[in-house]
A and B are shown apart, each in its own frame.
Chain A
Amino acid sequence: MLPLLLRSPRLLLAAAKGLQQSRNVVTNRLIPYKQDLPPVGGYAEFDWNRIPQRPFPSHNKQFLAFILFTFFGLILYERGMFRYKAQQVEILDAKVAMQPLLFAERDRLYLRRIRRNYEAEAELMKDVPDWEVGKWYSEPVYKTVHPNHWLDPPEFEYWAHCDRFEYEKWYHWWYSA
């Protein structure tokens, strides 16, 4: 508001005038007063008569209007629902189309992390005697499972090289966020 006032001199003048008018001026001057009187010819007669209600549309007309408005609303609703469902189908199509990409990215991150864990373990435990990577010392975790059989690690082993507090902090992330 203030920049507008400063930019336009007319508005600025009007504001100044308003301020001047609203100021309380005290004078010694005699101010002529005007007696407040009734209008010429006197006041109008007060109407004591009852004002009847204007006639309302009949029951048939009301019912007809109800039917008309209802079907008009239904038509609008169905048009809107058609549009909404078409949008939902399109969104679902987009999700379905993106799912392989997202799954592939997720699996890539998973395998990269497992590789990183493997390298970190090999680097960390190289001086520990009898330690083999992926085993409990020289004993395999599952003795009868073929070593080439893929086994997903448990979550705590996936986070084994991280802060324990971080793992416990994020463990329930999917179920709380």
Chain B
Amino acid sequence: MSGHGAFFNTPLTDLTGQILTQQGDNNTNNLLCRALELQLFKCMEAAGVPNYRRACKDEFDDFMECRTLKKQQERSVTIQNERIRQFNEGTLKEKYLHNPELHSYGAPGWQ
């Protein structure tokens, strides 16, 4: 992995190398980020140092989206603003949907 490996390997770098990446995280919520990061590493390794910024832009964007959820949040905010705008205009009858069932998603041990 270019750019993410240690200069020299010792047992200590093997032990602490995982905290710099997502690859040692066994959290089930993080599986997608792990896979995307691995794809990014593979792409970086294939493209080489000067080219990976251009060649791996999609992989990098996907990885950052998985880590920050920025695009998803912007999507939700856009939907909510559109909903409020249409309700204030009068074209939308109900301002909000009813709440989802609380046990249907997000409970501990959901996965």
Contact = CB atoms under 8 A, between A and B. Distances in A.
- Size range of the interface on B? 35 or more
A113 B82 contact: no
Chain B interface, DSSP helix/strand/loop, else mixed: helix
A124 B98 CA distance: 16
6 contacts: A110-B104, A113-B101, A121-B79, A139-B71, A154-B69, A170-B102
B58 A125 contact: no
Contacts of A124: 79, 82-83, 86, 92
A106 B109 CA distance: 12
A86 B16 CA distance: 48
Interface stretch (A59-67, A73-81, A88-96, A161-169): A161-169
A144 B39 contact: yes
Interface string A83-110: 0000000000000000000000010011
- Size range of the interface on A? 35 or more
Contact of A113 (B73, B74, B105): B105
Contacts of B47: none
A136 B37 CA distance: 22
Interface in A142-168: 142-145, 151-164, 166
Given A113-B101, A156-B76, A161 B106 contact: no
Contacts of B98: 162
Nearest to B74: A136
A141 interface: yes
B66 A142 contact: yes
Contacts of A145: 32, 36, 62
Contact of B100 (A136, A143, A162, A164): A162
Contacts of A173: 102
